[in-house]
Structure 1
Amino acid sequence: MPGSDTQLQLVIDRLVAGDEAARSALLDHACDRLLLLTRKMFHAYRDLRRWEQTDDVFQTAMLRLHRALSDVKPESVRHFFNLGAVMIRRTLLDLAKHHLGPHGQGANHHTDGKGGAMNDRAEQPEDLEGWSAFHAQVEGLPDEEREVVGLLYYEGLTQEEAAHVLGVGLRTVKRRWQSARLLLRQRLNEESS
């Protein structure tokens, strides 16, 4: 990973210096990681899988990242990973709202093989409301905790890799990860009460 980060930082430096070809190199670098991350996150959206496929979500996230890189020049590997995490999070939320929101094609569509009885949404932690609340709470975390959640949860990095990207010690990453999880649990419990 450190060699990969060094190479990525060189490409980011080229982009910041105005080399537009570096944008394609950044997207090439992000491609495999975004695809793996998309698969991981999309798996939790069971209801959305009826209407979308992993490649559709991946393509939309890559297009968003491409557009974002024309406006935002990441200053570091850390910033780039945060940008990628935001693009996937927004893509999944937008697709879920589109298909499963009140006016979406999946809002009242029933094809789960259980006759006419609808699923109890309260038993499904992966429903639209639950995921929307979760991602909204992630956005509301303090910066340090949000970065760690972005790297560990959305980007799929190990804690050691996240510590390297952030330039902090492993214990700091572990402390921030624990703090973020506690804050999310507390806020989500308050929201559901």
Structure 2
Amino acid sequence: MSEPVYGVFLIPDPATSAAVTSITLSVERQFGFVSAGRFPPHATLAGSVPIRAAVPDIVAALDPVLRDRPGFAVHHSGIVRHGAAVTYDVDRLPDGTRNLALAELAADVNAALAPLAHAIDALLVSPFRPGLFRAHISLASHEMNTQPELADQVEAFVRAVPAPAVPASFPASLVGLYEFRSAGWTGHWWETLTWRHLRTWRLADPRR
């Protein structure tokens, strides 16, 4: 297996997780697209960050950012194309403006990890760019780039799958740290992807 990379994910509520699981499994059975379903249901805060430091050092870097940080509401804006991928859009507030609490959380998490990170050559993995960040929960992802001839068909299928209903909003209360490994990062790494949950932080109740 290749060296590990790490992700920091906002963990959605159980209803959203159930809907994501239903859709990604349906996409896999219908089209053989496995990438979105290889991950736990999540909205990425920091994704596929190569780090050689020990896990306690990663936790120590993230702890000041996440410990006692107030939670906030995350709003569903429906199914959209995010780049090539099909996703739930969770980037905006009900009035259509950016969810700045979510964008700032992602920026702070990536800033905390930056001193520990190093560069690797990885297919379809880009460094964090705050100006390009758009919070989303993937429903069909990497194969939408590698098999673009099926992209429109997959999107139509995702929109039609009778998945469990998602709530209009859910609380951003749980953030998880995950370790990912694959046979290699330069090819279709999602086909051999495995993951391990390392730590969860519970954000503070904003009403307190």
**Which TM-score bucket, shorter chain as reference?**
under 0.3
Larger radius of gyration: 1
Q: Which protein has the bigger strand share?
A: 2
Q: Which has the higher contact order (CA 8 A, sep 6+)?
A: 2
